[in-house]
Chains A and B, each alone.
Chain A
Amino acid sequence: MTIQRLLIRWVSFTLLCVLFTQTAFSQTKTITGKVSDDKGAPVPGATVTLRGTNAGASTAADGSFTLTGPANATTLIVSSVGFTNQEISIVGQSNINVTLQPTQSNLNEVVVIGYGTARRRDVTGAVATVNAKDFNQGPIAAPDQLLTNKTPGVQVTTSSGQPGGGTTIKIRGNATVIAGANLPLIVVDGVPLDGRDATPSLNLGTNGLPFGTTPSSNPLLYINPYDIQSMEVLKDANATAIYGSRGANGVLVITTKKATSSGGTKIDFHASVGDNVGYMKTDGVMNASQFRAKLQQYNLGSAGYDSGYSVNPLKDIEQHKLLQTYDLDLSGGNDNGKFHASILAQTNPGIIKKTGLDKYLGTFNGTYKMWDKRVTLDFNLIVGHVQLDQTLITNTPGAGGNLMQWILNWNPTVRYQAPDGSYIGQAFTDVNPMAALDAYTDRSNVNTVLGNISGTVRLAKGLDYKMLYAINEGSGTRYTDFNGWIQGVQGISATGLGAISTANITSQTFTHTLNYNGDLTDKLHLSAVAGYEYWTTNFRDQTLLGTGFDINNTWASRVSIRNSDQLTDASSLSSSPANPQDPSVEIQSYFARVGFNWADKYYLNGTFRADGSSKFGVNNHYGYFPSVGARWVLSNEDFMKDITLINNLALRGSWGITGSQDFPAGAAQTQFNFSQNATPVEIAYGNPNLKWQRTAQTDIGLDFTLLKGRLYGTFDWYRKNTTQIVFQNQAIAPGPGTNGKEFVNLDGNLYNSGEELSLGGTVIDKPDFTWDLSFNISHNKNILKNFNSPPVITGVINGNGLSNTYAEEIANNQPIDVFYMPHWLGYTKSGTDTTTASSYFAGNPNPEWLYGLSTTLRYHKLSLNLAFGGAGGYKVFNNTALAVTNIGIFAKGQNVSKNAFAAGETTANGTVFSDKYLESGNFIKLRNATVNYNLGNIGNFKNASVYVTGSNLFVKTKFTGFDPEVNIDKQYQGFASVGMEYLPYPTPRIITIGINTSF
């Protein structure tokens, strides 16, 4: 379906909804007016109500409002997020202009915490909020990218430049050793997600195929970034312990936009177009003339390597299709019922041909009050269709390579095609990249529904009961073809491949909560929550892979039918994995939170959760997770009243225990499958004592606002001690070998400790010129102590002559996944590498420092926003330079990096593994720069603006590969890797132009 047709359908549907919810009521008085901020700019979306009545409206884009209500109303209340509420007498007036004063550092903003909300000033835990206005700009595939570098202690690493590629989110360091764990719990509108989605995975490393696993995609692609109101990062135990056995890696709470208006209907429209203008950075492979010069320099001029043409595969593989985004957002309703609906249609072609991400997402949510507002019904529905096109860029290709290797290694003096259109032939390690691109097709279609419905009943004053039911259902299909006419590809040439992969996920949540808010005395305020939650998930993922085709297998047998549509033609079919359906998971929990506030000075908050999980061993079905937090608002003490410099100063402290259950379902039971030629294989042996990984965290924080809000910030110190580390033990031989695992809770302490600082402020504050700055920095130290097991190897190195080579270890007294390798000693007289015979701990792959800086300059209607981000104190292993772009490969007549020619090194030098290829990962990036021009109102278009955004504009780094911010999945036997680069999908530089308007 085209975007245009979809838009038409969506608009007509939502208009229906608008009409449906409009109800008229008698009018006796009409008030009009305009709301502006202290600088005179209009404030759209502010809520205007009449005290003591049900009448209300919200301001339009130009700040104007019209309100009708009972004639006897006397006071108008105006509120808007980020501003102090204003009450104005309207006696005898019908036209009112209101000026709102901004609140200082958003102390009154509502923060979403576990199973409830709180005012920012009342929060005792470490909770960072990133609001929509502060999000990263540009083409954003998934919500997590919105907050990259926006808040300290949160590391969001995108592992590939593929649109929709997977990300790794780490909050306050590296807290687990198991691959695929470490992700924070993600909660969308009160619904905890599974962490997986229905994009089918595909392993091209089975059945003799040499490419390895294909990269994962982002599990949040179905969430519309424009729909997000705010994201909260819950960091310390006081904030996360209410999520119990899933809170240890932090919690990311996503709140989508709701209808804020009461009265009137608002339509927002956003459109942008863009282009991948080039690569942010390449690893510097040579062009044809540089290649020729090197041939001469190394006396290879007569080897027949120069075919006389000039091509640039990295350039020739690019596509420049228009990136397009259209987002339409409607909200409206009245005092009894409000709705919000949106539609996003987006096509995001990748910079490499035949790759891209197309999305069609719709959301619909609303709130209805009934029975004298004693009952509130809320619902949220997200429906998404995502189409992901990928190419053959895999994580762990061996000697056979993948598309990126063929691009980098292609001799730039050789043309791709003969005049008759046939592809130029290739030798073993020199596959024609254009032919490979042509022969390979890989498309996934994923449909996802995330819906929840909840009812809240006001049982008594301050006492609410709420019941929520949510379902997250996803189903995905992936069709992959690699035609056998391609030459020189092991496992594919002359046999072909066709694969159908599917994935399904269904998660359901039932939550009952009882919420109390009330004043016990005139100074003591109590807030309390008690609840019960039941969560269950089912996941299935399977690939049917065929080889040995008759069609598309030679140039002559090329047909228009895809291999995956003719699997019956395959001479051999295999199904993997052997256990496609995960064991079912049930979690049942009881939780409570009690908070006391005495005179807005002293806050005490305690949470408790009892979590039962079917994943735990039968002897440990329940875990208990307590936390306490306290806050002392010094600035409200009498002795601080006279210090005008300080507007707010609060000290926080918290302690608590959280858990992580990031091990596969079924891990506590003995299991067999048929993974080996239809015979049962013991894949896991049971551990009835298996339990959650336990993290105790202490946090001390300081929040401050100075100079009437011109400067504000937060400092936190934390220490996390993770014990009962979830670990996979091999059986003691004789056992089931690498197939058989037992998940155990190891002795040992995994410490993450660090400091976080965020600062924000207004440097210049003139009516027509403002300059805002915000900066955050965090430091984390990660170390494993008291670990008595032998070191665990991980960080698989791939490439020719690099079998059984590993770059990382999990070892005692070292950071997780510390680099472990021989030390490079230089070149021998004959120009080859020499290294130490033994390995040493060569560096930390986990960044010690993360920082971000955002700044906005506004002059009249023109504004410039810049967002920088960076990391430091870590190393990246450049597996590409070791295996693919080294001088020895050049000796075979293939292209390599310009960096590969060191003085004193000869072309006979092989691929010798050492810390020569371990590089500093430190970098600083200009993630995005936006120039925005506010057009104001043009006819029916209100508050229109146009902008230009550039993404990934530059990176400053000493790293010689594509992107130092990389994390190719090089796990080994279930243990995660960190900081490995190998043939990644390059990060594109993107320019987009867009408009925003309301009407």
Chain B
Amino acid sequence: MNLNKFLKNSFLIIGVVSVAATGCTKLHENLTSTLSQTDANKFSNLFLQAAYNDLGLVYEDPGNVLQLEEASTDEMFIPIRGTDWYDGGYHVQLHLHNWTRNSIPLAETEFTILNKTNFDATQVLGTNGTPDQIAQARFIRAIVLYQLLDLFGEFPLRQPNDNLLLPSKVYSGDSATSFIISELTSAISNLAPGNGTTLANQDAARALLMRVYLNRGTFKNAASPTFADADMQQVVTLGNQVLTDWGYKWAANYFDIFNPNNGATTESLFSLPNARGANTGSGFYGNIQNQWYATLHYNSYDALAPQSGWNGYSTMGEFYNTFGVNGVTPTQTVADSSLDNRLGEAHYAGVTDVSGIRPGILINQQYDEHGNALQDRKKLPLVFTNASEVPASIDVSLLPNLEDVGYRIIKYSPDFTTGAKSYQVPGNYFILFRQADVLLMTAEALMRQGTPNNAGALALVNKLRVARGATPLTSMTLNDPNSVYTANTLLAERGRELYWEGLRRTDLIRFGMWKTAWRLKPADNGNYYVFPIPDADLSVNPNLIPNLQGSNY
């Protein structure tokens, strides 16, 4: 066949075939590697898992809800360290209570991710899940609704399969509290009994219910909360149920509650699990390693994992002193048993021998695992100070280069099980509800009930103190209106037990101490009880209440 003939024939064939193949087509879009709504609804168990995972994202990284709840209080301060930690000044604004409407990007982020959890839990309700699955989803949703109410004073809510472009319904004040209580009350009987698991359970739901009842008056009127006797009775009843269930199985060492093998701790009611070294899927589970990254100095530890820290979160001497150690400056040679063991500073197997780090509050000269003194980036001794060098009146633009300022806190201790791998992807579980909080809430309700039972409360608190190696208190008030730092108060005891666990801001408001002065913060001149609802959300949902109280917003 010659070329021309060949081409003629080929052309004819190609022409005919392609005309036939490409006539009018009905346009079709095949989703290939994503699921449609119909496909996705087949996975109620996975939707439920998504909601659990969301909790990890909300709580495990201290740069989320925990920072809003702690950096705004007497327990935590994040100074500007030269070129680090400026971030537009919002870390300092949090501490000073002088933020403005759009100045805390973190609050906007939290509104979004809390509502994502809210949404993902609601998705489960739209599937034909089992009653237990539905109850678990309701519990998870109640956690974030409580948190939204606490941080923003309101929360939006959707029904499954709502049109996401239409405004959602919004709850605030007492109706919000009542809604959460009704959700938990109806869910509780379908949850698994007991506690201590990584799944929603009855005791965890009770602990959350206690929080809601205890703070009901706060959510109603943050400036001057009142406490109904019936609510307090509910707290005591629920607390006794949980404590009886638990049987006071104290951890041998306070830091065992947070160590890399804490999945088995007896003090947890409900925890968020992490798998050591396994970051399957996209991204870490909840970034619990940031619990130590956020506070440690760059040079705190670098044998296996070169960036031990981001040199950020710190606490101050005044908070440290509420442990009753005024004048006793502990050093590296202090006897390991001489103090309230929640203060730490003791040799802790698996951590101190590997890194030199002593869990608890890190003060003064820092050492490596061989006992050699560490240096900071200017080759000066790495000495964590009590923040006394920070000027009393903080002007964001005036802060000097505060590299070593502030005591540091290691509560969740780094995981060195498989060296750098576990240091970066650790196995510590995040404890979301624990027995000691239930005990302290019960004691508080006893003191706040119509007929206060202060002796009963003191007995409960001393039970805890003895378990932590602290001397029992002889007397205790709820709080000292003149100072957050007065040691023999229930507020201080909550601080000593629950520091950096994301509860302090709520406590200070409930105890009426939010506007008082503390280290580096003068008394408030505005109403900073809640964080502003993000502009972007306000503009699309007219049901949201712009909670812009006070002249400073």
Contacts and interface: CB of A to CB of B under 8 A. Distances in A.
B280 A733 contact: no
A338 to B, nearest CB: 13
A571 B87 contact: no
Given A368-B7, A584-B29, A612-B27, A804 B87 contact: yes
A579 interface: yes
A534 B22 contact: yes
Contacts of B15: 455, 467
A612 B122 CA distance: 37
A68 interface: no
Given A670-B37, A672-B39, A682 B123 contact: yes
Contacts of B43: 680
B116 A739 contact: yes
Interface in B1-40: 3-4, 7-8, 11, 14-15, 18-19, 21-22, 24-25, 27-37, 39-40
A790 B536 contact: yes
Contact of B115 (A368, A613, A733, A912): A733
Contact of B29 (A583, A735, A736, A804): A583
Contacts of A734: 115-116, 118-119, 122, 156-158, 168
Contacts of B120: 681, 736
B547 interface: no
A572 B277 contact: yes
Contact of A494 (B8, B119, B304): B304
A437 interface: no
A828 B396 CA distance: 12
Interface stretch (A163-171, A181-189, A485-493): A485-493
B282 interface: yes
The listed residue with most B CB atoms (<10 A of its CB), out of A488, A573, A833, A912, is: A912
Among A20, A304, A453, A908, which residue has the most Cβ atoms of chain B within 10 A? Answer: A908
B49 A571 contact: no
A427 B298 contact: yes
Nearest to A484: B420
Interface stretch (B76-84, B197-205, B356-364, B508-516): B76-84
A670 B36 contact: yes
A673 interface: yes
B29 A585 contact: yes
B424 interface: yes
- A interface bracket (residues with beta carbon within 8 Å of B): 35 or more
A832 interface: yes
Given A428-B307, A732-B541, A572 B282 contact: no
A683 B34 contact: yes
A837 interface: yes
B166 to A, nearest CB: 7
Interface string A659-683: 0000001101111111111111111
B537 interface: yes
A580 interface: yes
Given A467-B15, A574-B282, A733-B541, A427 B31 contact: no
A553 to B, nearest CB: 9
A674 to B, nearest CB: 7
Given A672-B39, A732-B165, A892-B377, A677 B122 contact: no
A891 interface: yes
Interface stretch (A279-287, A795-803, A843-851, A921-929): A795-803
A910 B40 contact: no
B86 A581 contact: no
A359 interface: no
A739 B106 CA distance: 17
Contacts of A733: 111-112, 115, 118-119, 156, 168, 537, 541
A879 B7 CA distance: 60
A418 to B, nearest CB: 18
A776 B538 CA distance: 48
Nearest to B170: A733
B282 A737 contact: no
A467 B156 CA distance: 58
A943 to B, nearest CB: 32
A508 B312 CA distance: 54
Contact of B86 (A575, A673, A674, A911): A911
Interface stretch (B214-222, B223-231, B397-405, B446-454): B397-405
B46 interface: yes
B283 interface: yes
A303 B378 contact: yes
A621 interface: yes
A370 interface: yes
B87 A495 contact: no
B401 A888 contact: yes
23 contacts: A207-B283, A208-B283, A370-B7, A428-B299, A429-B298, A494-B305, A494-B419, A534-B25, A577-B282, A582-B32, A584-B28, A588-B27, A612-B27, A671-B34, A677-B282, A679-B47, A680-B43, A731-B119, A732-B168, A735-B115, A737-B115, A893-B378, A910-B80
Given A734-B156, A802-B87, 8 more contacts: A208-B283, A488-B306, A488-B307, A493-B307, A582-B32, A584-B29, A736-B119, A738-B116
Interface of B: 3-4, 7-8, 11, 14-15, 18-19, 21-22, 24-25, 27-37, 39-40, 43, 46-47, 49-50, 53, 80, 82-88, 90, 100, 105-106, 109, 111-113, 115-116, 118-120, 122-123, 156-158, 164-168, 277-285, 287, 298-299, 304-307, 310, 377-379, 397-401, 418-421, 424-425, 535-537, 539-541
What are the 9 A-B residue pairs with the smallest beta carbon separation, nearest first? A737-B116, A494-B420, A679-B50, A804-B105, A888-B83, A677-B281, A733-B115, A731-B164, A734-B118
